[in-house]
Structure 1
Amino acid sequence: MAMNTPEIPLFPLNTVLFPGMPLHLHIFEPRYKEMVQKCLHEKMEFGILLLHETQLCQVGCTARITQILRQFENGSMDILTEGRRRFRVLDVLNRESYLEAVVEYFDDESEDIPSDLLKKVLNAYQKMIRLQTRGVGAIRGIFDPVHFSFIIASTIDMVLKDRQSLLELTSTTERIRKLDTALLVTMQKLDKQEKLKRVAEMNGHGKHEPEESESEDGE
C-alpha cells in the first residue's frame, strides 16, 4: 500500500458511508456550506466520519458530490453524494470553520475468497432484494468481491458499531463472512414479517366472509 497523506475536509455524521454508496445530505450549517462550496470549486472530496456518542471514529470514507438537488435562498442545499475511498485519520487540523484531517487511504488486502462463500452470500442477497423494495441494484455476471461486499453493507440493516467494523476491515473474506451472518438474521426477520402479513390478510378476509356471503355483489 502506497503511503498517501492528503488533507481533506471532514463532515462528522451519525452514519457510516461505504464506497459506492449513495448518500443524500441536507447542508444548512454555515461551516458546512463553506466546506461544500470549496469542494465544488476545487472538485475535491470530503471525508465522512461516524460521530457516535460524542466519539469521532478514526476511519471513514470520502464522499464525492455527484449532484446538487436543490438550493435555497439562505444558502442551504440538498446534495447527492457517493462514497469513494476509505481513509484513516492521521492528524486533525483546526484551520477552518470546519474540521480537516491529514489522512491515508487504504484498500483491502489481496486474498483468495472462497467461491462457495461468494455464491451463498450472493444468493441470500438477491433473495433479500426480492423481498424488499430497496437496494442499490442487481449484481450481474462477474463482479468484484470488494465492491460486492460494500453493496450489501450499504443496504442491510445493521447497528452503527457493526457497520463501522465492516468499513474498517481490510479482509474481504472476513467482511463477507460477517455479512453472511447479518443476511441470515435479516432473512429470518423478513420471513417472519411475510408470514405475519399473510396471516393478517387471511384474518382480514375471514372476518368479512359472512358479510360478503350475504351480499349479491360479492367482491
Structure 2
Amino acid sequence: MTTTRLPLFPLNTVLFPGLVLPLNVFEARYRALLRDLLDLPEGEPRPFGVIAIREGHEVAPRGLGLPDGPPADPDPAAGFGADPMRSFHQVGCVADASTIRPRPVPGEAAEAGERDGTATGYEVLATGTSRFRLLSVDASGPYLVGEVEPLEERPGEGAGALASGVLLAFRRYQKALAGANERTLGPAQDLPDDPSVVSYLVAAATVLHTSDKQRLLQAPDTASRLADELRLLRQEVALISKLPSVPGAEYTIRPTSLN
C-alpha cells in the first residue's frame, strides 16, 4: 500500500474530482497551509486534502479573529476534539490550488498578524483531482496533516448504460427544480461521455445533504455511484413535485467556503 502525507483542509462540504472549489482563507492554521503551498516550485501542483467534517467546525470558535472576537487560535486541531480522526469522514478528495491570491485579513487577526508577519489571507481556486482514504492525522504542526492512500476509480459493471440513465434523470430533476432552466450542465451536446465524470458532476450539482454526497464520493466504483444517483434523483423529483416552492438552480452549481 502506497501512502503519502497531505495537508488537510476540513470543510462542511464534499469536493469531487474534476470540480472547482473557491475558498476565502482567513484562519491562522489554513493561512499557514497556503503559505507552505506557495513555497512549492512555480508550475508544480499545490495539493492539499479536502475532507468532509463529521463532527466539529471548519472554522474554530476563535479562528476568524473578527473585529468583535478574540485573536486566532493557534491549535491546528481546534474545533475537532482530542482525536481529529473521529471528526472526519474516511474518504476525501485531493485538491490542486491552481490560483492563490493574497488578500487582507480582517479585524484583530490582522492586528496580530502585523506583529508577526502573517497578516495575509488568501483567495483560493482549487480543483479536485482524485480521491484518497484518510489513515491517520498528525496535529503536531501549524495545521493538520493526513497520512493518506489513493483510491482508484473502478468503472464497475454497466457504468455506461447507468450514466445515460442518470443524465436523463438529472435533466428531469433540473426541470423540476427550476423549470426549463438547464444551466448547470449546459446544452446536451456539451455533456460528458465518461461515466466517472458524469457521476462526479451530477453528485456535485445535485442539492443533497452532506452525508448523501459523502456516500457518493466513497462509492466502491462508478457504477455503484451512478446507481445510487439514479435512486436519489428519482426520489428528489418526487419530493420536489410535492413542494410549493424549491430553491433556484443557482444553488446547485458548486460549493464555496469562508475560512
Normalised TM-score (structure 1): 0.77
* Structure 1 unmatched ranges of 5 or more: 198-219
Q: 1:104 to 1:138 in 2, by over 3 A?
A: farther
The answer on 1:65 being equivalent to 2:67 is: no
Cα gap change, 1:98 to 1:183, in 2 (>3 Å) = same
CA contact (8 A) 1:88 1:104 kept: yes
1:25 to 20, 23, 26: 23
Moved more, 72-81 or 100-109: 72-81
Instruction: Return closer, same or farther for 1:183/1:110 CA change in 2, 3 Å cut-off.
Output: closer
- Deviation per CA, 1:159-185, whole angstroms, max 9, x where unpaired? 111111111112211111110111113
- The CA distance in 2 between the partners of 1:41 and 1:137, in whole Å, is 37
CA separation of 1:83 and 1:109: change in aligned 2, threshold 3 A: same
Alpha-carbon distance between aligned partners in 1 of 2:103 and 2:2, rounded to the nearest angstrom: 34
Q: Is the 8 A contact 1:126 1:138 kept in 2?
A: no
In the alignment, does 2:238 pair up with 1:188? yes
Which whole-Å deviations, capped at 9, do the CAs of 1:86-135 have from their partners, x for residues lacking one? 10112222331111011110122243325443222111223434535652
CA–CA separation in structure 2 for the residues paired with 1:21 and 1:161: 18
Contact 1:87 1:103 (C-alpha < 8 Å) held by counterparts? yes
Counterpart residue identity of residue 7, structure 1? R
Residue of structure 1 equivalent to 2:167: 122
- Which structure has the bigger radius of gyration? 1
What code does the residue aligned with 2:145 have?
E
Query: 1 CA distance for matches of 2:124 and 2:191?
Result: 32
Whether contact under 8 Å (2:14, 2:214) holds in the other structure is: yes
| Compared CA separation, residues 14 and 142, structure 1 to 2 (3 A) | closer
Kindly indicate whether the alpha-carbon contact (under 8 Å) linking 1:64 and 1:82 is maintained by their aligned counterparts in 2.
yes
Match of 1:206 in 2: none
Shift of 1:34: 1.0
Shift of the alpha carbon at 1:136?
Answer: 5.2
> For residue 184 of structure 2, what is the aligned residue in structure 1?
135
Higher helix proportion (structure 1 or 2): 1
Which position in structure 1 is the counterpart of 2:34?
A: 36
Q: Which moved more, 1:91-100 or 1:24-33?
A: 91-100
Aligned to 1:88: 133
* TM-score, structure 2 as length reference: 0.66
* Large movers: runs of 4+ above 6 Å: none
Q: What secondary structure is seen at the aligned counterpart in 2 of 1:97?
A: coil
8 A contact 1:107–1:170 mirrored in 2: no
CA contact (8 A) 1:90 1:104 kept: yes
In 2: Cα distance, 1:188 partner to 1:151 partner = 21
Measured in 2, the distance between the counterparts of 1:166 and 1:86 equals 12
Instruction: Give the counterpart letter for 1:187 in structure 2.
Output: V
Deviation, structure 1 residue 192? 4.8
After TM superposition, the structure 1 = structure 2 runs for residues 1-219 of structure 1, keeping only pairs within 5 Å, are 3-42=1-40, 43-54=45-56, 55-68=87-100, 71-72=103-104, 74-113=119-158, 115-129=160-174, 131=178, 132=181, 135=184, 137=186, 140=190, 143-192=193-242
What's the C-alpha RMSD, in Å, of the aligned pairs?
Answer: 2.5
1:114, 1:32 → 2: CA distance? 38
Amino acid at match of 1:146: S
Structure 2 CA distance, aligned partners of 1:68 and 1:136? 27
Segments of structure 2 that go 5 or more residues without pairing to the other structure are 57-86, 106-118, 247-259
Cα offset, 1:190, TM superposition: 4.4
Moved more, 127-136 or 55-64: 127-136
